[in-house]
Amino acid sequence: MNTIYTPNNLLVTGGAGFIGTNFVHYWLEQYPDTRIVVLDSLTYAGRYENLQPLEGQPNFRFVEGDILNQSLVEQLLRDEAIETIVHFAAESHVDRSIYGPDAFLKTNIDGTHSLLKAAKTVWLDEKDEYEHRFHHVSTDEVYGTLSATDPAFSEVTPYAPNSPYAASKAASDHIVRAYQHTYGLKTTTSNCSNNYGPYQYPEKLIPLAISNLLQGKSVPIYGDGQQVRDWLYVDDHNRGIDLIIRQGRLGETYNIGGNNEQTNLDLIHTLCSLLDERFPDSPHVPHKNQITYVTDRPGHDRRYAIDNSKICEELGYNPVETFQSGLAKTLDWYLEHTSFWMDDGIELFGAHAESN
């Protein structure tokens, strides 16, 4: 058993985005005696409203700002006595990275480097033996794509990123590794599969499909819909990050996955059946009639699968939600929060349902 690290004051970057928001709510429910400062520049994907219920609590502060602003980050680390960074902030939408890679390289690579420099300055250069952690949240997309029969990605699978998004995340993983190896910054990294759950921006596959199906609009599927992804409920991702921060070995990477491989088409069919059951009198039954097919995305990875045996065996990780329970919870949340996805001001990228 590794020594248990106890975070007290956390800086959560990208905490107003999908996973970051869920992480902040998860963490403060689990550990109400700790304090979180969220740093988020509120791009199109970030929403302050996601965190508004926490405003006024003494253990929470929201700061609108950019991870590229190194002096701001240094100031926050000093003023708030932060000893733990959980780094979610990123440009995260693969389709956007194909049409505009620059923002991805800037935020995901330079932004991560800027955070690392700030952490090194305040935790290593200005202090002696200051206990700290830098947890970097990354993706399984750094490993590239698999055929139907390839073994799942493990932590020793060579990196082979295929999209500008994946390449920028791969680069950030390497820089984190280098800061641990070269300077002794206490880092951990997680590479996770596709997440789903509340607060996901409605341009991603599951929320886009829920929104279109409920409104009687078509759900466009890329290519033949046979792309396989491993879907993980967002709080199961957060439980994995929690274990890694507290008990993970320094300098290590851990894959987090849900043992839940689904083709995009099967996933949409499951969602259609769930909606048929919930709304038997809807004029849109059977919802599967709304599925349409569109030209595949350039360079679309065929299959991702995660071998999560390292985190399971070393840290006792186990996803709590089944796909059925997670999807039902997700649907409930979107039904209760229609303003999240019906807002006219939402800036959706393209009209197609993408895998991640």
- Shortest gap between Cβ of 115 and ligand NAD (angstroms)? 9
- Shortest gap between Cβ of 184 and ligand NAD (angstroms)? 24
Cα 343 from Cα 99, distance rounded (Å)? 24
Binding ligand NAD by CB under 6 A: which of 31, 34, 42, 265?
A: 42
Cα 193 from Cα 220, distance rounded (Å)? 22
Under the binding rule (CB under 6 A), the answer on residue 319 touching ligand NAD is no
* 141 a catalytic residue: yes
- Shortest gap between Cβ of 72 and ligand NAD (angstroms)? 10
Cα 290 from Cα 272, distance rounded (Å)? 9
Give the nearer residue to ligand NAD in terms of CB position, either 13 or 84: 13
- Shortest gap between Cβ of 9 and ligand NAD (angstroms)? 19
- The single residue of 83, 140, 173, 321 carrying the catalytic annotation is 140
Structure tokens at 144: 């590239």
Edge to edge, the sheet with strand 133-139 lists 60-64, 35-40, 9-13, 84-87, 133-139, 187-192, 253-256
Residue 239 DSSP class: H
- Is residue 63 within 8 A of residue 39, CB to CB? The reply is yes
Under the binding rule (CB under 6 A), the answer on residue 41 touching ligand NAD is yes
* Residues 191-210, mask of contacts with ligand NAD (x by CB under 6 A): -x-xx-----x---------
Angle (deg, nearest 10), helices 205-214 and 264-278? 40
Binding ligand NAD by CB under 6 A: which of 9, 31, 34, 43?
A: 43
Under the binding rule (CB under 6 A), the answer on residue 144 touching ligand NAD is no
The amino acid that residue 240 corresponds to is G
Binding ligand NAD by CB under 6 A: which of 5, 11, 17, 243?
A: 17
Structure tokens at 146: 């698999």
Cα 192 from Cα 172, distance rounded (Å)? 15
Q: Among all residues, whose Cβ is closest to ligand NAD?
A: 17
Q: Single out the segment in contact with ligand NAD by CB under 6 A; choices: 34-42, 207-215, 283-291, 294-302.
A: 34-42
The amino acid that residue 254 corresponds to is Y
Binding ligand NAD by CB under 6 A: which of 70, 84, 97, 139?
A: 139
Largest CA distance in the chain: 67
Q: Which residues bind ligand NAD (CB under 6 A)?
A: 13-14, 16-20, 39-43, 45-46, 66-68, 88-90, 92, 107, 111, 137, 139, 169, 192, 194-195, 201, 356
